[in-house]
Amino acid sequence: MNKAVEAWIRQHEGEMVESLCELVRIPAVSPRDGGTGELEKAEWLAGLVQRLGLPEPERYDAEDPGAAGGIRPNLVVRIPGRTAARTWFVSHMDVVPEGERSLWETDPFLPVVNDGRVYGRGSNDNGQELIASLYAAAAYVQLGIVPENEIGLAFVADEELGSAYGISHLLKKGLFREDDLVIVPDGGNEKGDFIEVAEKSVLWIQFTIEGKQVHASRPDLGNNACRAANLFSVELDAALHKAFPERNELFEPPCSTFEPTRRFANVANINTIPGKEVLAFDCRVLPEAPLEAVEAVIWEVGRSLERKTGVSISSENIQRAVSAPVTPADSPVVDRLRESVKEVYGFEPRIGGVGGGTCAAHFRMAGIPAVVWAQEADTAHMPNEYAVIEHMLNEALVFGGVVDPD
């Protein structure tokens, strides 16, 4: 990394903290969660961008009648580089609601700086990375240094509820190229040693098993849905694990997982045989296994149990997300990020996949290799959410190194 850039970032740590605090003060909750959206925060950010001397941000508004001004704004800032190559940092402005206020020790939207941390809703998710990427870019502009790669900053809407008004909206506008280096700093760990390049497919499926409710003294007159549900859960668990034994060491755990999770209450008393049971499975499936094949196994186990027990089994997909193409571990964006992490932290980061979806999948689905990385405490969406100031500073240094390895 350019030493002058590193020094500038370190010298502006206090200003970064102040900016993060101002960001936290502006709620940006989705209208679907009872908020007004990101407009106020976007306008404040546009002002900060200009105060830092960066080019005027471009606005890409998505229409949403439920939001303030009827729009969900997205800000894009571009800093020219010495080459045609382009590196994007994509962070989101929206935050989740505060949740149960009584669990907070402070007002979630009145930031508190204490013991090297900034407390407040959105400080961790995704405020610290937004500020880190902004100040990394500002260092080059303020110092008059033209980075090797063009820097693209995208501050997007609607990440928390699917990205239809955010990343997906920008992809439709054609802002990104297949050879762009895209970093989504919206997931990581406290050490900062993990670069995410892949995701498992996700299938949340809920089953309803219907038999016939009767008094427990006359089971011969009914059909015990509880027993059938127990059999179904055990048989389905075994069948899925047998059908999909593949392993992929990119992931932890390195296999597909099929977990029985939620079970709804049935009858209120002991001496009634239930006539209806509702249960759910959480399936995290390796990219090698098509979800259609998983669903075929589920269908066959269900039909077999219906024939054996006489119950009826129906299902509903609560969530179904097919894994995006894997970003190759030797791709330019991974190499650049790996080297910068190594320079800042002194260790080689791990490259791997995760069990759930991230918004980087939108880029991968569009044929654009993208990675997810951050150094962050595990406090997102929690009461008393906080960002560690040292983490934010480290992230800014990593981002500064990615665009110009020196």
Question: Which tens digits make up the pLDDT trace of 289-320?
Answer: 999 999 999 999 999 999 999 999 999 999 99
Q: How confident is the model at residue 110 (pLDDT cuts 50, 70, 90)?
A: very high
Over residues 312-332, the mean pLDDT reads 95
Q: Whole-angstrom Cα distance, residue 196 to residue 199? A: 8
CA-to-CA separations, 398 to 153, 282, 373, in angstroms, rounded: 15, 35, 10
Over residues 336-360, the mean pLDDT reads 94
* Residue bearing tokens 């497919």: 201
Over residues 342-359, the mean pLDDT reads 93
The answer to whether residue 94 is catalytic is yes
Asked if residue 358 has pLDDT above 90, the reply is no
Lowest mean pLDDT, pick from 149-163, 170-184, 243-257, 353-367: 353-367
Q: Whole-angstrom Cα distance, residue 221 to residue 1? A: 77
Over residues 149-162, the mean pLDDT reads 96
Asked if residue 36 has pLDDT above 80, the reply is yes
Q: Which pair of tokens denotes residue 355?
A: 């069990």
220-241: pLDDT as tens digits: 999 999 999 999 999 999 999 9
Catalytic residue among 38, 94, 129, 277: 94
Q: How confident is the model at residue 251 (pLDDT cuts 50, 70, 90)?
A: very high
Q: Whole-angstrom Cα distance, residue 330 to residue 260? A: 36
Question: What's the pLDDT score for residue 161?
Answer: 92
Question: What's the pLDDT score for residue 263?
Answer: 96
Question: What's the pLDDT score for residue 356?
Answer: 80
Question: Residues 6 or more apart from 27 whose CB is under 8 A from it?
Answer: 35, 36, 95, 109, 121
7-23: pLDDT as tens digits: 999 999 999 999 999 99
Question: What's the pLDDT score for residue 357?
Answer: 78
Across all residues in the chain, what is the average pLDDT? 96
Nearest to 184 by CA among 175, 176, 196, 172: 196
Question: What's the pLDDT score for residue 264?
Answer: 95
Q: Is 276 exposed, middle or buried (0-12, 13-18, 19+ CB in 10 A)?
A: middle
Question: What's the pLDDT score for residue 1?
Answer: 80
Over residues 129-135, the mean pLDDT reads 98
E strands present in 309-376: 312-321, 350-354, 370-372
Number of alpha carbons in the 13 Å side-chain half-sphere of residue 302 = 16
Asked if residue 404 has pLDDT above 90, the reply is no
Catalytic residue among 98, 159, 282, 395: 159
Which domains are present in the chain?
3-199+324-403 (3.40.630.10), 201-321 (3.30.70.360)
At how many degrees (to 10) do helices 13-24 and 128-143 cross?
140
User: Between 358 and 401, where is the model more confident?
Assistant: 401
CA-to-CA separations, 259 to 40, 184, 230, 235, 346, in angstroms, rounded: 42, 29, 14, 12, 38
Question: What's the pLDDT score for residue 26?
Answer: 98
Question: What's the pLDDT score for residue 405?
Answer: 80
The answer to whether residue 406 is catalytic is no
DSSP-derived secondary structure for 152-181: EEEEES-TTTTSTTTHHHHHHTT---TT-E
Asked if residue 83 has pLDDT above 80, the reply is yes
Q: How confident is the model at residue 402 (pLDDT cuts 50, 70, 90)?
A: very high
